[in-house]
């Protein structure tokens, strides 16, 4: 592996000059610049990022903390981060916080130890106080989590409003007995969506029936369990608001097993709009989260933040994606 010294020798200049053309940090005569570039090509030179980082302070890597690899929403955000970082010279390095404070604390530690130039935190439970410390130490952007006092380093989305609108959509279609399959108990997204649900019901003058709200964990399996329980007890319902699309898939299947038609007998609305949702039978009406866009936006913002440039965070809406799993109540 060629080093800066090798190419300096070959080009008959000093290491310093090589470094200068590498970063074009200051003027170098065209003649030497070309000699250096030729030498680099000839030796197939790849700067050692570790050494650069040690000497210069920048590692050109971004630490990304995500939650539960394999869950569609967080994966999409991560994907957006990757996209957004390509062609910036920065590479992302991922760690999984698993929605556990301790794990998160730990992996953030290893990220910091790797001297990342910036941090993107997707979701998670890290207490705000720790976050505030972190932000003083390192450019940080938080995604998919609402934080007071972080206006400009926080990309999130209004889950209570979205929960409200999802429920409202059902109500507008004549439904009044709307089951809610809750996500993980204390998960902020889940509780906010539930809050929106409650509010929409209240605004429509419908009393919240606790027999219609089932707890789950964002998995498809929890969707089938919930529907089975709902059906076993005999509270009638004409619509289901699922915590996310996976839950909706499970619910839809359970309904199918009982010979209940969607949307003729029961309507379903999901949340996320993951790729498969459009191909459910029937295609799933769902609240589309701009996951990839959030990731891209956070990457773009972080790069600006690191470079000390100004930037503006986009306002990303959650949009109702109307498809065919919701029908007017007859």
Partner DNA sequence: AACCGACTTGAAAGCGTTTTCAGTTACCCC
Partner DNA sequence: GGGGTAACTGAAAACGCTTTCAAGTCGGTT
Contact criterion met (CB below 8 Å) for 11 and 38: yes
Radius of gyration of the chain (CA): 25
Strands 178-181 and 154-155: unpaired
Scanning 8-16, 139-147, 158-166, 273-281 for contacts with a second copy by CB under 8 A, the matching segment is 273-281
Partner interacting with residue 4 (select from DNA, a second copy, none; CB below 5-8 Å by kind): DNA
Give me the least distance between CB of 134 and DNA, in Å please: 19
Q: How far is the CB of 49 from a second copy (least distance, A)?
A: 5
How far is the C-alpha of 245 from the C-alpha of 73, rounded, in Å? Answer: 10
Burial class (CB in 10 A: 0-12, 13-18, 19+), 176: middle
- Cβ at position 54, least distance to a second copy in Å: 5
**120 CB-near residues (< 8 Å, 6+ apart):** 62, 63, 64, 65, 81, 92, 140, 141, 142, 143, 298, 299, 302
Query: Least distance (Å) from DNA to the CB of residue 58?
Result: 8
**Which window, 84-92, 150-158, 163-171, 265-273, contacts a second copy (CB under 8 A)?**
84-92
Q: Using CB under 8 A as the criterion, what x/- string covers residues 192-231 for binding a second copy?
A: ----------------------------x--xx-------
List interacting residues with DNA (CB under 7 A). Answer: 1, 3-5, 12-20, 22-23, 25-29, 31-32, 45-48, 51-52, 54-57
Residue 167 touches which of DNA, a second copy, none (Cβ within 5-8 Å per kind): none
Selected binder of a second copy within 86, 102, 132, 152 (CB under 8 A): 86
Structure tokens at 290: 């701009």
User: 33 to 52, contacts with a second copy by CB under 8 A?
Assistant: 46-51
Find the binding residues for a second copy in span 6-35 (CB under 8 A).
none
The secondary structure of the chain in percent helix, strand, coil, rounded to multiples of 5, reads: 50, 15, 40
Could you tell me whether strands 154-155 and 213-214 are parallel, antiparallel, or unpaired per DSSP bridges?
unpaired
Q: What is the C-alpha to C-alpha distance for residues 18 and 12, in angstroms, rounded to an integer?
A: 10
Q: Does 319 bind a second copy (CB under 8 A)?
A: no
Q: For the sheet containing 285-288, what is the strand order?
A: 213-214, 178-181, 239-242, 267-272, 285-288, 319-321
Q: With contact defined as beta carbons under 8 Å apart, do 268 and 239 qualify?
A: yes
Residue 83: contacted member of a second copy, DNA, none (CB under 5 to 8 Å, by partner type): a second copy
Q: Tell me which of 79, 101, 211, 229 binds a second copy, using CB under 8 A.
A: 79
H or E element at residue 183: none
Cβ atoms 240, 227 nearer than 8 A: yes
Q: Is 275 in the site for a second copy (CB under 8 A)?
A: yes
Give the binding-site size for a second copy (rule: CB under 8 A).
48
With contacts defined by CB under 8 A, name the span among 26-34, 78-86, 150-158, 225-233 that binds a second copy. Answer: 78-86
Q: Residue 210: phi, psi to the nearest 5?
A: -70, -15
Binding of a second copy at residue 99 (CB under 8 A)?
Answer: no
Q: Which residues of this protein are in contact with a second copy, per CB under 8 A?
A: 46-51, 53-54, 59, 61, 69-70, 75-76, 78-79, 82-83, 86, 91-96, 109-110, 112-115, 220, 223-224, 246, 249-250, 252-253, 256, 275-276, 278-283
């Amino acid at each position: 592996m060629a080093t800066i010294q090798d190419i300096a020798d070959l080009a008959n200049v000093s290491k310093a000059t090589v470094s200068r053309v590498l970063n074009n940090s200051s003027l170098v005569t065209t003649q030497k610049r070309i000699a250096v570039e030729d030498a680099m090509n000839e030796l197939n030179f790849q700067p050692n990022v570790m050494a650069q980082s040690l000497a210069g302070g920048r590692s050109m890597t971004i630490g990304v903390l995500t939650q539960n690899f394999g869950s569609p929403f967080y994966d999409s955000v991560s994907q957006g981060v990757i996209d957004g970082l390509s062609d910036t010279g920065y590479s992302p390095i991922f760690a999984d916080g698993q929605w556990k404070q301790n794990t998160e604390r730990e992996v953030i530690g290893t990220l910091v130890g790797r001297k990342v130039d910036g941090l993107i935190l997707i979701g998670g439970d890290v207490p705000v106080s720790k976050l505030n410390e972190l932000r003083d130490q390192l450019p940080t952007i938080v995604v998919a989590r609402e934080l007071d006092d972080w206006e400009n380093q926080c990309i999130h989305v209004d889950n209570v409003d979205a929960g409200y609108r999802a429920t409202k959509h059902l109500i507008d279609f004549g439904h009044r007995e709307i089951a809610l399959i809750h996500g993980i108990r204390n998960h902020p997204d889940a509780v906010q969506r539930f809050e929106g649900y409650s509010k929409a019901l209240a605004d429509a003058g419908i009393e919240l029936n606790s027999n219609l709200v089932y707890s789950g964990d964002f998995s498809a399996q929890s969707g089938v369990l919930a529907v089975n329980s709902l059906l076993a007890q005999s509270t009638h319902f004409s619509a289901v608001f699922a915590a996310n699309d996976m839950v909706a898939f499970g619910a839809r299947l359970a309904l199918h097993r009982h010979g209940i038609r969607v949307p003729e007998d029961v309507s379903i609305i999901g949340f996320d709009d993951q790729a498969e949702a459009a191909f459910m039978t029937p295609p799933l009406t769902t609240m589309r989260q701009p996951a990839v866009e959030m990731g891209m936006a956070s990457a773009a913002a972080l790069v600006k933040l690191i470079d000390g440039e100004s930037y503006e965070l986009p306002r990303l809406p959650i949009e109702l994606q109307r498809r065919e799993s919701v029908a007017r109540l007859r």
